[in-house]
Amino acid sequence: MSTGSTVGDAVIRTEGLTRQFTRREGLRKVRLSAVDGLTVTVGPGEAVGYIGANGAGKSTTIKMLVGILLPTSGQVRTCGLEPMAERVRLSRQVGVVFGQRSQLWWDLPVAESFSILGAVHRLSPHDERARTVELVEQLEMGPFLSTPVRQLSLGQRMRAEVAAALLHRPRLVILDEPTIGLDVVSKQRLREFLRAERTQHGTTLLLTTHDMGDVARLCPRVLVIDRGRLAYDGALDGLSRVVGARRVLVVDLDEPVEDLTGIAHTEHLASEAGGLRQRIAVDSEATTVPEVLAAVSARVGVRDLAVEEPDIEDVVRRVYLAQAGEGQRSVGPAPGGASGGASGASGGARGGASGGPRGTAGPASGTLGS
């Protein structure tokens, strides 16, 4: 549960939230759980990263939060409202950005889309104009405000999409892959705006992404979902401790050198082109990329560099394996030999509560995936 939030003032609250789908396999119908027993609370003004591999249940969760899908069981409240029953009221308190879908009118200028959305949200003409001016200035949209949406670059369109989602000053903004396909400059501009919006207006952010850079720069808290179940709820640095995920510094050097080993809190992974390019894993708990770069520069000139963030699928896999290992250790050897111990560990993993306290790993699912 989020620090300082209560059930009464929570912006997002789910208890045992489950959504099942039926799939036909031959002559049989099989029930599959896209979201399975999700219990989580997000308080006002929090910024939370909601991450997981493809198919983990992220999009299904969002659809239940905004009233597009009806849960199979469990409870959900968004901004204190029941999403499906009070969807119209909820739409005035929530803004949603889907990286692959648009809420703008394709053939209309951006400014006209904002005017239409202002009317949809029942803003007065004065409030709509004032808010548009504010967003245009902050997101630097002036040069393309009169341009039809279909003629915008991807970076321009995403800025316009975020502005459209925030036009009515929602309490909660849900961002689904907001920086997908953006260049470095566009990503940075969007991240800075979202941080400022949260600081100035107390907006709650729920961010789903495969870009760990987005999570690291925007979200003090992280939820990891794996096969529909909450696998981790806590701080990002705590997640790094759980899974041992590391950032990788890739350096292109002025001249070939031997492997750059012996740098504190790093591991040399590989050298390419005879030592001209080297890959170094960085323990972010103990040092920083600038410190490692300074140590490298003291040995040899650096021509170019890149930082690779941990892959989301790898993070989720490590969380799951860490949980499985803890479950086996906590159960211990069972009477009857190795097979009994394995069975006990599996049962212990299945029997866990849906979501552990913040900063702890939640339950693993009953069987290990490949």
Q: So what's the pLDDT on residue 270?
A: 92
Q: So what's the pLDDT on residue 364?
A: 36
The alpha carbon torsion through 343, 345, 351, 356 (nearest 10 deg) reads -170
Provide the residue-wise pLDDT of the chain in tens; the chain has 370 residues. 344 444 458 999 999 999 999 888 888 888 999 999 999 999 999 999 998 888 889 999 999 999 999 999 999 999 999 999 999 999 999 999 986 778 999 999 999 999 999 999 999 999 999 999 999 999 999 999 999 999 999 889 989 999 999 999 999 999 988 887 778 888 888 889 999 999 999 999 999 987 778 888 899 999 999 889 998 899 877 776 666 667 899 999 999 999 999 999 899 999 999 999 999 998 877 888 899 999 999 999 999 999 887 766 666 667 666 655 555 444 344 333 333 333 333 333 333 333 343 444 443 333 323 3
Round to whole Å and give the CA distance between 97 and 158: 9
Task: Give the CATH number of domain 246-308; options: 1.10.1200, 3.40.50, 3.90.700, 3.30.70.
Answer: 3.30.70
Q: Are the beta carbons of 328 and 368 closer than 8 angstroms?
A: no
Q: So what's the pLDDT on residue 340?
A: 38
Q: So what's the pLDDT on residue 68?
A: 92
Domain ranges of the chain: 12-240, 246-308
Give the residue carrying structure tokens 């920083």. Answer: 288
Q: Are the beta carbons of 79 and 171 closer than 8 angstroms?
A: yes
Long-range contacts of 271-280 (CB under 8 A, 24+ apart): 276/252, 277/250, 277/251, 277/252, 277/253, 278/250, 278/251, 278/253, 279/248, 279/249, 279/250, 280/248, 280/249, 280/250, 280/251
Q: Are the beta carbons of 73 and 36 closer than 8 angstroms?
A: no
Q: So what's the pLDDT on residue 211?
A: 79
Q: So what's the pLDDT on residue 323?
A: 58
Q: So what's the pLDDT on residue 326?
A: 53
Distances (CA, A) of 294 to 147, 273, 365: 45, 22, 43
Residue in 168, 178, 189, 177 with CA at minimum distance from that of residue 79? 168
> What architecture is the 12-240 domain classified under in CATH?
3-Layer(aba) Sandwich (3.40)
pTM of the shown model:
0.70
